[in-house]
Amino acid sequence: MQDAIVGRGARVTRFGFGGAPIGNLFSAVSDEQAVEAVGAAWAAGVRLFDTAPHYGLGLSERRLGAALRHRPREQYTLSTKVGRLLVPSSSGGRDDQGFDVPADRHRVWDFSRDGVRRSIEESLVRLGHDSVDMVLIHDPDDHWEQAVGEAYPALAELRDQGVVKAIGVGMNQWRMLAAFVQATDVDAVLLAGRYTLLDRSGAAQLLPLCLDRGVAVLAAGVFNSGLLATHDAAGTYDYGPAPRPAVELARRYAAICERYGVTLPQAALHFPLRHPAVTSVLVGARSAEEVRRNAALAAAPVPVELWEALDAEAPVA
């Protein structure tokens, strides 16, 4: 598995582990399943592990930290995010943002300098680690001024001090990521769901800009939250019900893949790596079985002719 160096020494593998599912995204998994999923990723050669406070109100960070704690620290890159602080709550009930966890805390947006430092300190406690390697500003869609004016300088200072090795931004849109790349000296962007078989909107401007500026692109959400995860093209799209046009296009892609002996998820997993700006593909998984399936898909070659056929079917951007 080919490695790359991001920022000032963060080594990332071609495929990374996305920690949202082990934070009980959509439905619960056990602590044992989470540990087994991380272990399977390690066995497959994955050494980039990404999480966030947002994922399960801290559950993903706690589980990922526990699963990695006995691994040699110098052998993996640990990434988390800032922008949402977790504050105790007595409202009861369950989390209303897609994670099957008790609502014993709630998220508070905070991209201030103090908020960034507090977020990292609290993440380290949940992770049970004394350091993280990469920190990403998480979903600053409605907070551009504070994110670029306070969060970014705070992270840049930590990078200059050697506290972290790489900094960046993670979002579900490409336009603000492009603005960050133009306005700052970020090392990486995490682009979720916007450079996939079904949504190539990040390709026209963001990816060439990142390539020109030497910014690593971590492609996430390559299954568009589920629709491309199975060959029958069924499931959610961008964390909601899949619209008919997306389902129809995915099924046309699946039929084309069959002609070349490739499955739809196999093509979806390999697709982002066609672009030279993409350094790593982050894939979320909730079980060891899912990890092993994805590892097998990643190891299976895809004929060049398939891409030509899929590109011919793709809608004009």
Q: How confident is the model at residue 93 (pLDDT cuts 50, 70, 90)?
A: very high
1: pLDDT strictly greater than 80: no
**Helix locations, the chain, DSSP H:** 31-43, 59-68, 113-127, 144-146, 152-160, 175-183, 206-213, 244-259, 264-270, 288-299, 304-313
SS3 of residue 120 by DSSP: helix
Q: How confident is the model at residue 166 (pLDDT cuts 50, 70, 90)?
A: very high
Among residues 50, 43, 47, 31, the alpha carbon closest in space to that of 292 is found at 43
SS3 of residue 278 by DSSP: strand
Task: Tell me how crowded residue 234 is: count the other CB atoms within 10 A of its CB.
Answer: 13
Q: How confident is the model at residue 183 (pLDDT cuts 50, 70, 90)?
A: very high
Q: Could you report the per-residue pLDDT of 26-46, keeping only the tens digit for each? A: 999 999 999 999 999 999 999
Exactly one of 55, 76, 152, 195 is catalytic; name it: 55
Task: Tell me how crowded residue 144 is: count the other CB atoms within 10 A of its CB.
Answer: 14
Q: Could you report the per-residue pLDDT of 106-129, keeping only the tens digit for each? A: 999 999 999 999 999 999 999 999
What's the rounded mean pLDDT across residues 199-209? 97
Report residue 84 as tokens: 């949402």
Q: Could you report the per-residue pLDDT of 47-65, keeping only the tens digit for each? A: 999 999 999 999 999 999 9
> Is 253 labeled as catalytic in the residue annotation?
no
At residue 240, the pLDDT reads 86
Domain residue spans of the chain: 3-224+272-304
Could you please state the CATH topology (level 3) that the domain comprising 3-224+272-304 is classified under.
Answer: TIM Barrel (3.20.20)
At residue 239, the pLDDT reads 82
